[in-house]
Structure 1
């Protein structure tokens, strides 16, 4: 899917993608103000290039709404030149790799992320490689 630098705004009301399709590629897209898992993948190959996940919970009717950029099971995930910004979540982080995932992250920024456990990346029984990426103002609350 080519986003052509468009923006999808969930207005604090909806998650976007849930797939067990074998392959999903998203390019050049901004996803703003979604709640829940923006992208939920299972048994899939997910590729993100220049995708921006931006959440400003002050825009939500309920400031405590939770956001995960990606929630994955049994998948291969490649994230390149992307951004995760403004995550507010009681449990998981911007990316939650829950079981038997292979996660590769390169040239990606994690900014202003807050979570009870892991603010940027949560990993359970998965492998993760992070290259040339930055983490700014990420904290456990």
Structure 2
């Protein structure tokens, strides 16, 4: 597990397999047995320590040369507020069914986080602990567990 290197969003973690597999079914049984509890404990610690509105966990590593790994994104209330204030992202609603009330979509928020906190030259200001503080908090939580 490590903090995503190219993000300005504190708590955006990545969990990867030490095995070079690209699919869950190719992982050794021991790795599979430890993966679920590790993801669950990571989510618990993020929610307990950082208090996001929700935590997204996505599986990646399906491209050759990129072993299977999981992105763990905390979505804070202030991140969601930034998303709704940025009119550029309203066009995304035109790709789905009309909704009587605005509802945050996980795919849209993930896209927002990637573009604004990982790829933007000037990411939005962060509210709350810094990346270094979050890394310290997570290290402390996992060393105590």
**TM-score, L = length of structure 1:** 0.23
- Comparing both chains, which one has the higher relative contact order based on Cα–Cα distances under 8 Å and sequence gaps of 6 or more? 2
- Between Structure 1 and Structure 2, the one with more helix by share is 2
Q: Could you say which structure has the higher strand fraction?
A: 1
TM-score, normalisation: structure 2: 0.23
